[in-house]
Structure formats: structure tokens, C-alpha cells
Amino acid sequence: MGNILEVNDLSKSFGNLKVIDGWDLELKKGEKLILVGPSGCGKTTFFRIVSGLEKATSGSVTVFAQKVGYVFQEPRLFPWRTVFDNLKIIRDDEKKIKEVIKMMSLEGFEELIPSKLSGGMKQRVNLARALLVEPDLLILDEPFSSLDLKIKLAIMKDIEELWSKYNFSILMVTHDIKEAIFLADRVTILSPRPSKILQTFYINLDITERDITNRRFLELESTITKFIINETEN
């Protein structure tokens, strides 16, 4: 299976402040890679480099995806436009918009403006917008950080189902280990700044085990947590 993303010896500094230190990564087509790291470890900077908004100081990032969907930490919606119009700005294809609205359970909310939506609904529009471009690669930048557990789990379940159906690659950053295990094929742990890649964990859980109360899920969470604590103490 070919790669959708290749990162070779990537480093990024802002002046004298080194943020990313020699990352090597690859993401296969249809794979779900989640990066877990503390605040300020360069997760968002990495996304900005992948998106082409920042340049690497050294090393390279190659994106092979034709279409990329972005799910931002905050919904980034036009406040004066309805849900439908927010999607229409990205892609003027009413049939496809209706399809993603249905997919994300946003039916009945099409004509509302963002201020009338809950945080969870706004994030659903954020995700619907990313799906509207029919992405090969879905990039998620801490998309659940402002949501409560119930809504977070519901949206993660939706992402899992959509992934099973469309098989796009997923690259997500988070500091929440539960989120990572729930969605990932691989979880890569990052050190604090200047951040290095410390370890990659393969999440060999089937769909029924991707449950925060499942024994294997909890074991994995415990293993990763212990690893992070040990690394922090060292």
C-alpha cells in the first residue's frame, strides 16, 4: 500500500526556539495515525507545515493526497452564514452538501447560523465541511478538546464509521490518550519541546474493543500512560 504522507528528518525552529526536532513519519493510504504530545510540542506547527502554511527549517514533508479535509480545533464557521451556506462556500454542489449534511446528522439545522448551534453541532459542521471535499487525507487538529465526553464519543464513532465507508487516511493530533486509542491504527508519542518522536504504539483493537470501558482498551491506555510518565520522569 502506498504512502499518503512522508516526513523525513523534519525540524522546525522559530528564531532560536526549536519546536520540532528530526521527525520521521509515514502515513499509509487508509491508515489512521494519531500524534499524542503535551501542549507546545509542535503538534499544530506540524499540521501547518503539512498544510503548507509554514515552511520546514530542515527536512521534508511530502503529501501525496489529492484532496485534504481539515477539521480545526475551533469550528471556523462564517458567523453570518447558515450551515448550508457555510458548506456552499467551500464547494458549490448542492447534492453533495445535502449528502454530507445527512451523513453528519445535521438535517434540520441547514438554515441555522452558527451562533444558534451547540459546540458539538458546530464541530459536526466543521467535519461535514472536511468531508465535502471528498478527502484522501483527513487532518484533525485537536477537534474534540472543547467537547464533553458524550458528544466527543458520538463524533468519534461517526468518524470511525465514515472511515470504514470511505477509507481515507486520518492524521490527528491530540493530548488525550483515550481519543487516540479510540480512533488510531498507530499512536505516536511526542516528547515536550523541542519535540522528538519517542515511540509508536500499534492499536490492534477491533471495532467492538474500541470502547473506553473495554479491558484491552484500558490496558493499552495504561501502557501508554505509564510510558509517558516514565519518559517525563527521565
Partner 1 sequence: MKTFYGVLLIIVIWYILSFAIGSSFVLPYPHLVLKTLIEQLKTPRIYFALWGTVWKTLVVLLFGTLIGIAIGFFMGINDTVYEIVRPLIMVVQSIPVVSWLAFVVFLWGVGFKGPILISTLSILPDIVFTTASGIKSIDGKLLEMVRLYKVPFGRIFRHLYLASIVPFIIAAVEISVGNVWKVVLVTEFLVGGSGLGVELAWARQYVDVPRIYAITLIAVVLGLVTERLFKTISKRMLKRWEIY
CA distance 79 to 115: 7
**Residue 166 beta carbon to partner 1: minimum distance, rounded to whole angstroms:** 18
Give the nearer residue to partner 1 in terms of CB position, either 61 or 228.
61
φ and ψ at residue 14, rounded to 5 degrees: -115, 100
Residue 218 burial (C-beta neighbours within 10 Å; 0-12, 13-18, 19+): middle
Q: Which three cell numbers stand for residue 159?
A: 468518524
Q: Which is nearer to partner 1, 45 or 188 (CB)?
A: 45
**Site residues for partner 1, window 140-179 (CB under 8 A)?**
none
Taking CB under 8 A as the criterion, which residues in 118-147 touch partner 1?
A: 129, 133
* Cβ–Cβ < 8 Å for 148, 116: no
Q: What is the per-residue binding string for partner 1 in 11-50, x denoting contact by CB under 8 A?
A: ----------------------------------------
Q: Residue 48 or residue 216: which is nearer to partner 1 going by CB?
A: 48
User: How near is the Cβ of 91 to partner 1 at its closest, in Å?
Assistant: 8
What's the grid cell of residue 118? 451547540
- Give me the amino acid identity at 77: L
Q: Which is nearer to partner 1, 17 or 53 (CB)?
A: 53
| Grid cell at residue 32 | 489512521
Residue that has been written with the C-alpha cell 472536511 in this structure: 130
Q: Give Cβ neighbours of residue 24 (< 8 Å, ≥ 6 apart).
A: 7, 8, 9, 10, 197
Count the residues of the shown chain that bind partner 1, applying the rule CB under 8 A.
18
x/- string (CB under 8 A) for partner 1, residues 73-112?
-x-x-xxxx-------xx----------------------
Tell me which of 115, 208, 213, 230 binds partner 1, using CB under 8 A: 115
Altogether, the residues listed in the chain come to a count of 234
Residue from the set 3, 8, 13, 51 that interacts with partner 1 by CB under 8 A:
51
Least Å distance, CB 227 to partner 1, is 33
Say what angle helices 119-132 and 94-103 make with each other, to 10 degrees.
Answer: 130
Contact criterion met (CB below 8 Å) for 34 and 173: yes
Which positions touch partner 1 (CB under 8 A)?
51, 53, 68, 70, 72, 74, 76, 78-81, 89-90, 113-115, 129, 133
